[in-house]
């Protein structure tokens, strides 16, 4: 599984990255997690609001931070 957290480094973006890493670990997923802060790369995903979450190339979340349980459901 390839997971990208898109965001320029704001507190919400860092929170989503931490929650994502925690959820992947708790679920025992084999995932590569990366943080994308380059605005030009973020724009390639057609995301206007961050933070955003990309799973295997698909935008699954943009512009908000989900609850931890909702995030785990998105990833499982």
| Domain boundaries of the chain, sorted by first residue | 2-75
For strands 32-36 and 52-55, give the pairing: unpaired
Residue 48 has pLDDT above 90, yes or no: no
**E strand spans, the chain:** 2-6, 32-36, 52-55, 58-62
Q: Residues 3, 13, 42, 71: which is the catalytic one?
A: 13
- Catalytic-role residue among 1, 10, 39, 43: 10
Q: Identify whether 13 is a catalytic site residue.
A: yes
The structure's pTM equals 0.92
Q: Dihedral sign, CA of 35, 59, 68, 22?
A: negative
Q: pLDDT tens, 1-24?
A: 999 999 988 999 999 999 999 999
What is the per-residue pLDDT for 5?
A: 97
Q: Which fold has domain 2-75?
A: Glutaredoxin (3.40.30)
Known active-site residue 48: no
Exposed / middle / buried, residue 5 (Cβ in 10 Å: 0-12, 13-18, 19+): buried
């Amino acid at each position: 599984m390839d997971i990208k957290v898109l965001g320029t480094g704001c507190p919400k973006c860092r929170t989503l990255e931490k929650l994502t890493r925690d959820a992947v670990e708790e679920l025992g997923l084999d995932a590569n997690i990366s943080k994308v802060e380059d605005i030009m790369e973020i724009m390639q995903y057609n995301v206007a609001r961050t933070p955003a979450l990309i799973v295997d190339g698909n935008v699954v979340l943009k512009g908000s931070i989900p609850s931890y349980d909702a995030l785990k459901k998105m990833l499982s």
